Structure 1
Amino acid sequence: MSDDMTTQVFKEEAYELLGELETSLLELEDVPDDMDIINRVFRALHTIKGSGSMFGFEAIAEFTHEVETIFDSVRNGELPISKPLLTLSLSARDHIYSMLESPSGEGDFALGNGILDGLRDVAYGALGGTVHEQADSAEEVEGSTASDFSVESQSGMEGKSRVTKSLFQIVIKIAAGHDVDEKSLDPLLDELERLGEIRSKLVHKDAETWWDIVFESDTDSMSIEEIFFFTDIPVTVNVREVAREDIADMFVSGDEDDEDYDSGHVKKLGEILVERGDVPAEAIEAVLADRKPIGEMLTEKGVVSREKVESALAEQTATKQFNSSVKKTRKKNYDTASSIRVSAEKLDYLVDLVGELVIVQAQISQVVSSKGDPVLTALSEELERLSDELRDSTLGIRMLPIGTTFSKFRRLVRDLSEELGKEIDLHTNGAETELDKTVIERLGDPLVHLLRNSIDHGIEIPRTREAMGKSRRGKITLSAEHSGGDVMILIEDDGKGMSKEVIRAKAVEKGLLSADQDLSDKEIFNLIFEPGFSTAQSITNVSGRGVGMDVVKRAIDSLRGSIDIDSKEGKGSVITIRLPLTLAIIDGLQVRVSGDYFVIPLSLVEECVELTRKDVEEANGQQFVNLRGEIVPYIRIREWFEVEGESPPIEQIVITGLEGSRIGVVVDTVIGEHQTVIKSLGRVYRDVEGISGATIKGDGTLALILDIPKLFRTVLAEIKAAG
């Protein structure tokens, strides 16, 4: 793998870890004592540090190691989680991100040192000692050299680093004739714990005093033995590797007499004793005829002491736990390794190719239908089926849970509320709702602006909320859900809401409407989307410059979506965004008006009915149709787009539904379903009302895609204006 590719692999992994790190730090603010979250933070920092060192990002490795040292104290229960600690840790996360983005990989050196000094001050105040001493200790514990890591290639995932751990049995014996207090070994055992974790420790006193320790570490046996080289205590040390993470699959089944045994990965008790040299293999075979547990049988036969059986059982228990942990880790690694990263450019190109394939398939189907050949027809139908499956599968690859966008907003709300002196909780619902990758990417900035407005304009400061009888802490809810063929995103807050009078007065002042003009509540609220419109009394770092909401609306419109506002003064506001699932390919209903073809998104179509001349006459010129007792308004595409030609005696009304209302779209002929590859319109036609895009038909001609939500709003506005 080239250097550029390995660097890219490291960066992609680091970005994912930084995202997880930020999420975990924010979660710690709510549950500061949750050790699972603390361990997630530590693991993320440790992996970034180790991978950074391995791939040559030494500045990142050194900086991250300092932060990791602080969280090692947190993990050990020495340093409590506090708001200053989390704030500085989030700043450290941002600094690591900027270092990744920096061409040199070093970032702002002074800024990094300032963050580390702040972390040390927090730790010093809580621990009453120097953090540098802890850093030296942590360096011995974890190490930050590339030798701790191995590079794997699994299912196309290259450059993934991990620590390979082993389980050791350590037997420490006191030389004959010496009586040594157990506490004398404590300093040596403390040194041992710097290299890993003691899983069990048994002290025996028979003919001699000896310690039997089962120890888990990512080091080697020589490093363990070195701890005891320079001690004055007369000991002999034997270190034996019991299990290793990368060969655990080779272990044989365990003792069938042990009901708690998890089959696989664990040696039988007899095998452990034979391997240690404590019992000859012949003795094991001699006692297997008995039905008692093998440890008890061996003890009764006097083959081995009870202390040694207890030691072997301790090793077996530790091995079970170790291999269970390995199994979980392997499953997690397998789940990760079974997916691969693909660049967005390659994915976009794949979607473009599928789109062209869909067009060609439509052309083939059209040609085949004119031939009337049954063999060609069967092949064409099979091609259409495969084309549909390929389209759905490809678009499914592009679908991502919107929660990937939601998660980053917790940080925004936290930082901004702190800056403005407010107390705000962000609640999210429907994070698993999936949207096209492109829609999610382009949705980020509009959502950021809407959230900033809710925080700045909507939520009041704590003392104001208390005076109004509200909770000190404001609440913003960000939710997503599927609604037909669309996704609906809601941003709700329990703030002060919007004043219709203030909005109207500002609109009159700016000349957007006359003082006596009658507007509905919805129309008044929609005035805030006008360019340069702002009701803020002063300009702040957050808002007040009159730039933003019009940009938000244009961004939503460019996604073929809609945005609406509902607000109650003193109660709060709700902003509703409706977006299509994908911007690439949709199922559509193809219709014709004279010689022109149009496509209506099939997800909005409810039914098709006929419209006769008699129906028109009975309506007395009003564009309404009586649909099984329900009065449904309709719009004529011929009139809307000024299509030349006479209407046929019997027209078709396509009934569409949106937001609980229905309107009809009158066309000459309904042709049928059509798999529509959406093509953007050029600048000249981009702002044509009622058109959201175009598609290429099977014969190579164009069909315009109708913007039903836009037509919907226009028709309803005309009905309201007419009274």
Structure 2
Amino acid sequence: MLDLDPAETFRQEAAELLETLETVLLDLGQRPGEGHLVDAAFRALHTIKGSGAMFGFDRVAAFTHDFETAFDLIRKGRIEANHDIVTVALSAKDYLRILIEDPDSTDEIIGEAIVAALHRLVSGLEAAPAEAHAPTTSDQAPGWLIDIAFRPDILRNGTNPLNLLDELRDLGPCTVTARLDDVPDLTALDPEGCFIAWRVALRASCPREAIEDVFIFVRDEMALAITPFDAGASRETLAPSGGLVDADAETAPASAAPNPSVAGTDRPVEKTEYNRRADDKSSTVRVQAERLDELMDRVGELVIAQARLSQLAHASDDLAIKAIAEEIERLASGLRDTTMGVRMVPMGSLFGRFRRLVHDLARDLAKPVEFVTVGEDTEMDKTMIERLADPLVHLIRNAIDHGIESPERRAIVGKPAIGRIELSARYVGAQVLVSVQDDGGGLDTARIRAKAEEQGLLQAGAGLSDNEVHQFLFHPGFSTARAVSALSGRGVGMDVVKRTIEGMRGSIDLATLPGRGSSVTLRLPLTLAIIDGLLIRVGGGRYIIPLSAVEECIELTAADENRSRGRSFLSVRGELVPFLRLREQFGAEGEPDPHPKVIIISTGEVRVGLVADQIIGSHQTVIKSLSKLHADVTMFSGATILGDGSAALILDVAQLVGLGQMQAEIDKMTEAA
């Protein structure tokens, strides 16, 4: 049996709570008047404080106490949330993270300074209790009708509903009616489930917030409706038809009552919705990432073994073996898709990390920025998500530092004072396009060209297009910053982005409009584990082309060869497409096939043809990384094992497209000469 370290369990749960707290605080900074955000922050702080004390993290509990108190004052209306409190709370969140992960590395002076800053803010904002929260008729009444329905699994989470009813009784005299409409038959009853709902008639002049506070830690696991009633209402009016039960009662009566209704509507309290959730079995399980990687490796080996079986079955005349091979192929394909689905993670889990980055950079650079995310539900392999984080950090920093102008400059050119950065993701075929777009001044092409000439990367007066000039931004050590700062000027960043994206078998598109802004689009495959590929033969070797990059396959006829007249161009429906002869690129030996085939591949708007001897067919490709000895072999992104046990190299589409463009430019220059 696996022994779990309680402290490590707390660290994992605290990391999730801190991530939630950061998101809530950033939302609160933009919408300080929304009470549910304050409640969410208070719940996160209270849970961290209580769990920290339980697991021996006393410094965490002591530090969190002051911020929990501050947000409790905000909840009660004693003080108002503002930008300064949110800023200090974000600093406290960062300190808490270090205090939990590595308490020995933290300096208590920093924590004391953060708490002192909070005390100064609170003491300056706190008003007298009578002024700060004078109850109105809307939030305080002579009595309340309270309808309560918990999720069936509330007992498994350690919550005792009777204790919550006792807390309501502490607010004043009350009667409780149990509702048994949703209790299933005895044969179908889950003894660990909670199927009883309650209606409470509370005769106390207390604010609505006092009632809500009783359920603050279970609000996400229940339906709650609170309705005021007149002071002159009789006992019979207040009592539901099922009879009255005192709050001290240990058990509920067997009599059932009609379903309670949410205040102001005819819709019943959503107890039935919770039952549907339980029936859907839509629960989640925390699994270590290493186990998912191991599962993916096992599935990859299964796919290779299945390809071997299919090849043997194809060479056999035994129909039973062929049938079994087809069934195994179907099951392996389904298992592959299911396993890849388990590894898929929504982009929102990545996008949320950058809100704090934008918040801090906008503050440090004095550039107000609106950060917008689109396509958070787009999913990618978790490995891709992890590797994509650093490139996006560089792109967002550049967008704020270099792209977005200062408020003064934006006012001169007639732009809103607040800049805008949009981070989006969307599917395009078997690829995911991740874009970082800003509404800044755009790229200064003349300055980039001048800097490239200054560094000897470009000859003066060379005839390059704007797009070709912009590619110098990805050159190592290249920077157009006039001075070195904490954020830029060292020429490190964009070259790292390019290397990382190309290492993920992706490509980068760069677009800009002077004065309007820039957009950087990353084209990425969905996964780095298993892909659908097109198996081809060049000479005696076999190679894989990612099927997502293949547009069409055509035959290279003798007429096409003669028409090209030595140039590497092919006319495809009136459009000239450059092509590469893979036999020449790979130095293949032997006689070429008399009927070569051309595979048209593309990245973005660029199309290139690859001439091969034979197209064998589609192939489920398990990607294996090349060794460090092959790091300088740029035309291949990996390898795979075929059904007969031999290896096939996977072609790097981006590199081949670039090589095809280069060959086309050479042909044009040769023809012009």
**Common fold by TM > 0.5:** yes
Is 1:109 matched with 2:108?
A: yes
CA deviations on 1:473-502 (whole Å, 9 max, x unpaired) are: 111111111112111111111112221111
Give the aligned partner of residue 451 of structure 2: 506
- Counterpart contact for 2:403–2:439, Cα < 8 Å: yes
- Counterpart contact for 1:488–1:577, Cα < 8 Å: yes
What is the rounded CA distance, in whole Å, between the counterparts of 2:484 and 2:75 in structure 1? 44
Question: Secondary structure of 1:47's match?
Answer: helix
Structure 1 pair 385–445 and aligned structure 2 pair: CA distance change class (3 A) = same
What is the rounded CA distance, in whole Å, between the counterparts of 1:666 and 1:462 in structure 2? 54
Deviation at 1:655, TM superposition (A): 2.1
Give the aligned partner of residue 656 of structure 1: 601
Query: What is the TM-score when the length of structure 1 is the normalising length?
Result: 0.75
Q: Of the candidates 540, 543, 568, which is equivalent to residue 485 of structure 2?
A: 540
Is 1:121 matched with 2:52?
A: no
One-letter identity of the residue aligned with 1:519: L
Question: Secondary structure of 1:351's match?
Answer: helix
Deviation at 1:126, TM superposition (A): 0.9
Q: How does 1:271-282 map to 2 (within 5 A)?
A: none
Give the aligned partner of residue 142 of structure 2: none
Question: Secondary structure of 1:533's match?
Answer: coil
CA deviations on 1:364-408 (whole Å, 9 max, x unpaired) are: 111221122111011011111111111111111111011111111
Deviation at 1:78, TM superposition (A): 1.9
Q: Of the candidates 211, 235, 238, which is equivalent to residue 308 of structure 1?
A: 235
Give the aligned partner of residue 279 of structure 1: none
What is the rounded CA distance, in whole Å, between the counterparts of 1:627 and 1:655 in structure 2? 10
CA deviations on 1:141-188 (whole Å, 9 max, x unpaired) are: xxxxxxxxxxxxx89x99x6657564548xxxxxxxxxxxxxxxxxxx
Is 1:81 matched with 2:26?
A: no
Q: How does 1:234-249 map to 2 (within 5 A)?
A: none
One-letter identity of the residue aligned with 1:71: F
What is the rounded CA distance, in whole Å, between the counterparts of 2:492 and 2:575 in structure 1? 43
Structure 1 pair 7–324 and aligned structure 2 pair: CA distance change class (3 A) = farther
Q: How does 1:70-219 map to 2 (within 5 A)?
A: 70-102=70-102, 107-128=106-127, 166=163, 168=165, 212-213=173-174
CA deviations on 1:559-598 (whole Å, 9 max, x unpaired) are: 1111232223322111111111100100001000111000
Q: How does 1:279-678 map to 2 (within 5 A)?
A: 307-313=234-240, 324=269, 338-678=283-623
CA deviations on 1:446-478 (whole Å, 9 max, x unpaired) are: 111111111111111111111121111111111
Structure 1 pair 318–20 and aligned structure 2 pair: CA distance change class (3 A) = farther
What is the rounded CA distance, in whole Å, between the counterparts of 2:259 and 2:54 in structure 1? 31
Structure 1 pair 547–662 and aligned structure 2 pair: CA distance change class (3 A) = closer
- Counterpart contact for 1:51–1:161, Cα < 8 Å: no
Unaligned runs of 5+ in 2: 134-152, 186-193, 201-231, 245-256, 669-673
Give the aligned partner of residue 17 of structure 2: 17
User: 672-681 or 660-669, which moves further after superposition?
Assistant: 660-669
One-letter identity of the residue aligned with 2:575: E
What is the rounded CA distance, in whole Å, between the counterparts of 1:426 and 1:593 in structure 2? 49
What is the rounded CA distance, in whole Å, between the counterparts of 1:267 and 1:452 in structure 2? 53
One-letter identity of the residue aligned with 1:127: E
Query: What is the TM-score when the length of structure 2 is the normalising length?
Result: 0.81
Give the aligned partner of residue 33 of structure 2: 33
- Counterpart contact for 2:79–2:127, Cα < 8 Å: no
- Counterpart contact for 1:166–1:242, Cα < 8 Å: no
What is the rounded CA distance, in whole Å, between the counterparts of 2:413 and 2:198 in structure 1? 69
What is the rounded CA distance, in whole Å, between the counterparts of 1:404 and 1:20 in structure 2? 11
- Counterpart contact for 1:502–1:535, Cα < 8 Å: yes
Q: Of the candidates 185, 196, 199, which is equivalent to residue 265 of structure 1?
A: 196
What is the rounded CA distance, in whole Å, between the counterparts of 1:559 and 1:164 in structure 2? 51
One-letter identity of the residue aligned with 2:642: K
What is the rounded CA distance, in whole Å, between the counterparts of 1:393 and 1:446 in structure 2? 29
- Counterpart contact for 1:52–1:60, Cα < 8 Å: yes
What is the rounded CA distance, in whole Å, between the counterparts of 1:553 and 1:572 in structure 2? 20
Structure 1 pair 619–6 and aligned structure 2 pair: CA distance change class (3 A) = same
Structure 1 pair 93–648 and aligned structure 2 pair: CA distance change class (3 A) = same
Q: How many residues align?
A: 590
What is the rounded CA distance, in whole Å, between the counterparts of 2:589 and 2:84 in structure 1? 71
What is the rounded CA distance, in whole Å, between the counterparts of 1:248 and 1:340 in structure 2? 31
Give the aligned partner of residue 141 of structure 2: none
What is the rounded CA distance, in whole Å, between the counterparts of 1:307 and 1:579 in structure 2? 68
Cα-Cα RMSD: 3.4
Structure 1 pair 268–442 and aligned structure 2 pair: CA distance change class (3 A) = closer
Q: Flag the structure with larger Rg.
A: 1
- Counterpart contact for 1:168–1:242, Cα < 8 Å: no
- Counterpart contact for 1:49–1:60, Cα < 8 Å: yes
What is the rounded CA distance, in whole Å, between the counterparts of 1:721 and 1:87 in structure 2? 57
What is the rounded CA distance, in whole Å, between the counterparts of 2:413 and 2:636 in structure 1? 47
- Counterpart contact for 2:508–2:523, Cα < 8 Å: yes
Give the aligned partner of residue 231 of structure 1: none
Q: Identical aligned pairs, as a percentage?
A: 44
Deviation at 1:433, TM superposition (A): 0.8
One-letter identity of the residue aligned with 2:414: G
- Counterpart contact for 2:598–2:609, Cα < 8 Å: yes
What is the rounded CA distance, in whole Å, between the counterparts of 1:168 and 1:357 in structure 2? 55
Question: Secondary structure of 1:380's match?
Answer: helix
Structure 1 pair 113–306 and aligned structure 2 pair: CA distance change class (3 A) = closer
Deviation at 1:658, TM superposition (A): 2.9
Question: Secondary structure of 2:630's match?
Answer: coil
Structure 1 pair 332–96 and aligned structure 2 pair: CA distance change class (3 A) = farther
Deviation at 1:358, TM superposition (A): 0.8
Structure 1 pair 197–598 and aligned structure 2 pair: CA distance change class (3 A) = farther
Question: Secondary structure of 2:307's match?
Answer: helix
What is the rounded CA distance, in whole Å, between the counterparts of 2:315 and 2:289 in structure 1? 40
What is the rounded CA distance, in whole Å, between the counterparts of 2:195 and 2:494 in structure 1? 61
CA deviations on 1:74-102 (whole Å, 9 max, x unpaired) are: 11222111000000111111122112211
One-letter identity of the residue aligned with 1:77: G
Question: Secondary structure of 2:556's match?
Answer: strand
Question: Secondary structure of 2:536's match?
Answer: strand
Give the aligned partner of residue 288 of structure 1: none
Q: Of the candidates 683, 693, 696, which is equivalent to residue 638 of structure 2?
A: 693
Question: Secondary structure of 1:371's match?
Answer: coil
Structure 1 pair 317–51 and aligned structure 2 pair: CA distance change class (3 A) = farther
